[in-house]
């Protein structure tokens, strides 16, 4: 069986109350795509009916069973052209429950379906949350999974499907409020090393402006086909062998997962008032938080520990002059990148004594990467050094292939309360694993400090051709339209201080930044070092703005509270070595 197949994403503007017209037009577009050679054709969420329904009574005339008359018509087309089609439609089951559904239809008829599990603000007016979690369907053109719109905000959904062997995730949506192709779409493909075929509607419906941008995204995050606006379809080729390699930034990430560290993913710490939850029994209550400034330093460590400490001191003084209360330095900023094991030092020790003296002098918190020697073991570690000299250590838990030649993996997370907020620590490659920052978010972290030495491409400008999109969708050029570590911040409702090495000759691309907790806030609450050595400083607000219930998104964590952990057990299982 060939591993290369042509696929199509269909973009379409349905018209409410004109179901017959919508279905006829979708069939026409799907036939055109099939004639052009597409073996898998994906159409938008609720494409048969439109989306913005008031209530059950209004949508009732348009719901259908699956299988049913609509799926029969698409099945006939799929049989005619020996292809597979994904259709978005409102479904009714035998108990009269309505769902926002996606159905995969092949030459033999209905292959499977997905019911939207994470409702957006509109679905609860008429639909129940889906109950067919995280399925993967085997077909003659590969293993296919389905997600609907809001589902893709949650790292667990696509991760479980990829762990289940999905080559392609077909994501159908009615996406709004953001210029597309949306960064979330790209990150789900990128972090799971699989294809995402995105079919988004466009147009204005009941005052809601939808953003189009239907596309095909490759396992490395490259957008290989995109349609900015209007009805039509775009074609691309997918290679199943690329998806099955499951490599992210050149690393076999599924073999490097640490399921034994992920049991907290099955908890739901934000289901109660989080201010009460994190102070329960008087145990580890949240710090009050503050409005403060946080900096990240971007540079290339050299082979001299003494010279690196001088660079660290110089950047720390600049950050303090900018008003920063916390500054984060790159991975191995003390030890250097060439022979970290040879420069490894104990923690605590003379190096951390020097860092503590600097933190005390400047009255600033420092997060700094270094190689740590503990007996016979060497760790890739990071220290959070407080102005009072206290040291919190974190040992990198997810090691790259190269690091395994000299370092031992850590086996726990590090979280510390400071006046700036509750801070969690990760190091570089850790943040390529969506499970790691999620655990820290579930522990109530306001800020994740991430010293990094990440190589490769994890950022790109807008991939479409349109100069503008309709208001209120944000417009204009953005050289970092997609930045994977900005997505990490937004999906966990945390501030992420990502301090990366900049050394293009060795593949380190920099792009350090302090990223805000709300991905859809424009202008963005962030600061980025676009190139070269430098410092980025941003305002960070971790305060509890309401004494009874958090109104600050970093404390309220909307996207964390809407998770469905009862379906996440597969995240803590060790998968078979099939990648």
Query: What integer pLDDT is reported at residue 579 of this predicted model?
Result: 46
Residue 159 backbone zone (phi > 0: left; psi -120 to 50: alpha; other: beta): alpha
Query: What integer pLDDT is reported at residue 575 of this predicted model?
Result: 64
Whether 178 sits among the annotated catalytic residues: the reply is: no
Number of H helices, E strands in the chain: 14, 32
Residue 387 backbone phi and psi in degrees, to 5: -60, -25
- Strand, helix or coil at 328? strand
Q: Which pTM was predicted?
A: 0.96
Is there a cis peptide before residue 523, judged by omega within 30 degrees of 0? Answer: yes
Least Cα distance to 149 among 166, 463, 127 occurs for 127
- Between CA 404 and CA 379 the distance in angstroms is 10
Query: What integer pLDDT is reported at residue 95 of this predicted model?
Result: 97
Query: What integer pLDDT is reported at residue 548 of this predicted model?
Result: 74
Given the residues 30, 83, 149, 215, select the one marked as catalytic.
149
Whether 116 sits among the annotated catalytic residues: the reply is: yes
CB 246 within 8 A of CB 579: yes
Query: What integer pLDDT is reported at residue 196 of this predicted model?
Result: 98
Residue 323 backbone phi and psi in degrees, to 5: 90, 15
Query: What integer pLDDT is reported at residue 521 of this predicted model?
Result: 87
Residue 456 backbone phi and psi in degrees, to 5: 95, -170
Could you tell me the CA-to-CA distances from 50 to 16, 23, 32, 159, 478 in Å, in that order? Answer: 5, 11, 22, 29, 31
- Between CA 122 and CA 499 the distance in angstroms is 38
Query: What integer pLDDT is reported at residue 466 of this predicted model?
Result: 64
pLDDT tens string for the chain (579 positions)? 689 999 999 999 999 999 999 999 999 999 999 999 999 999 999 999 999 999 999 999 999 999 999 999 999 999 999 999 999 999 999 999 999 999 999 999 999 999 999 999 999 999 999 999 999 999 999 999 999 999 999 999 999 999 999 999 999 999 998 899 999 999 999 999 999 999 999 999 999 999 999 999 999 999 999 998 899 999 999 999 999 999 999 999 999 999 999 999 999 999 999 989 999 999 999 999 999 999 999 999 999 999 999 999 999 999 999 999 999 999 999 999 999 999 999 999 999 999 999 999 999 999 999 999 999 999 999 999 999 999 999 999 999 999 999 999 999 999 999 999 999 999 999 999 999 999 999 999 999 999 999 999 999 998 876 656 778 888 777 889 999 999 999 999 999 999 999 999 999 999 999 999 998 888 888 999 999 999 999 999 999 877 677 889 999 999 999 999 999 999 998 765 444
Q: Which domains does the chain have, with CATH numbers?
A: 4-248 (3.60.110.10), 290-572 (3.60.110.10)
Given the residues 45, 435, 491, 526, select the one marked as catalytic.
45
Given the residues 19, 116, 229, 396, select the one marked as catalytic.
116
Strands in 447-452's sheet, in edge-to-edge order, are: 415-418, 421-425, 447-452, 495-500, 513-515, 527-528
Which residues have CB under 8 Å from 61's CB, separation 6+?
Answer: none
């Amino acid at each position: 069986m060939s591993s290369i197949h042509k696929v199509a994403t269909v973009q379409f503007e349905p018209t409410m109350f004109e179901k017959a017209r919508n279905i006829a037009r979708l069939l026409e577009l799907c036939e055109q795509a099939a004639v052009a050679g597409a073996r898998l054709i994906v159409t938008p969420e609720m494409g048969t009916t439109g989306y913005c329904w008031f209530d059950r009574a209004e949508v009732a005339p348009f719901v259908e069973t699956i299988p049913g008359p609509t799926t029969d018509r698409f099945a006939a087309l799929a049989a005619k052209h020996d292809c597979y089609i994904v259709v978005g439609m409102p479904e009714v089951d035998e108990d009269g429950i309505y769902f926002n559904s996606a159905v995969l239809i092949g030459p033999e008829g209905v292959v499977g379906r997905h019911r939207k599990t994470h409702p957006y603000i509109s679905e609860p007016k008429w639909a129940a949350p889906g109950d067919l979690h995280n399925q993967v369907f085997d077909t003659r053109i590969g293993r296919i999974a389905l997600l609907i719109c809001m589902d893709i905000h949650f790292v667990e959904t696509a991760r479980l499907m990829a762990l289940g062997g999905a080559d392609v995730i077909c994501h159908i949506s009615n996406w709004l409020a953001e210029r597309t192709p949306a960064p979330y779409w790209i990150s789900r493909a990128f972090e799971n090393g699989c294809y995402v075929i995105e079919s988004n509607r466009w147009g204005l419906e009941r005052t809601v402006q939808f953003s189009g941008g239907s596309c095909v995204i490759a396992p490395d995050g490259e957008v290989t086909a995109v349609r900015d606006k209007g009805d039509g379809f775009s074609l691309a080729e997918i290679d199943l062998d690329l998806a099955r390699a499951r490599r992210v930034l050149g690393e076999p990430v599924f073999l490097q997962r640490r399921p034994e560290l992920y049991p907290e993913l099955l908890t739901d710490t934000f289901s109660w008032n989080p201010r009460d939850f994190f102070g329960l029994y008087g145990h580890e209550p949240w710090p009050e938080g503050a409005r403060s400034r946080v900096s990240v330093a971007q540079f290339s460590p050299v082979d001299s520990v003494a010279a690196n400490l001088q660079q660290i001191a110089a950047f720390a003084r600049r950050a303090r002059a900018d008003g920063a209360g916390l500054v984060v330095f790159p991975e191995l900023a003390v030890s250097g990148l060439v022979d970290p094991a040879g420069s490894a030092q104990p923690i605590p020790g003379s190096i951390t004594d020097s860092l503590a003296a600097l933190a005390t002098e400047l009255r600033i918190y420092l997060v700094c990467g270094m190689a740590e020697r503990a007996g016979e073991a060497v760790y890739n570690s990071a220290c959070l050094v407080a102005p009072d000299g206290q040291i919190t250590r974190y040992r990198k838990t997810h090691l790259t292939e190269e690091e395994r030649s000299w370092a031992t993996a850590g086996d726990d997370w590090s979280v510390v309360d400071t006046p700036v907020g509750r801070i969690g620590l990760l190091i570089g490659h850790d943040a390529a694993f969506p499970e790691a920052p999620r655990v820290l978010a579930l522990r109530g972290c306001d800020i994740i400090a991430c010293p990094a030495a990440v190589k490769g491409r994890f950022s790109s400008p807008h991939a479409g051709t349109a100069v503008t999109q309709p208001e209120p969708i944000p417009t204009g050029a953005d050289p970092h339209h997609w930045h994977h570590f900005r997505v990490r911040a937004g999906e966990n409702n945390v501030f992420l201080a990502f301090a990366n090495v900049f050394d293009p000759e060795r593949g380190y691309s920099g792009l350090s930044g302090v990223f805000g907790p709300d991905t859809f806030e424009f202008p963005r609450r962030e600061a980025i070092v676009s190139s070269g050595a430098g410092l980025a400083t941003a305002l960070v607000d971790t305060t509890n703005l309401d004494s009874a219930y958090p109104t600050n998104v970093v404390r309220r964590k909307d996207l964390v509270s809407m998770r469905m952990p009862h379906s996440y057990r597969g995240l803590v299982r060790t998968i078979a070595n099939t990648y």
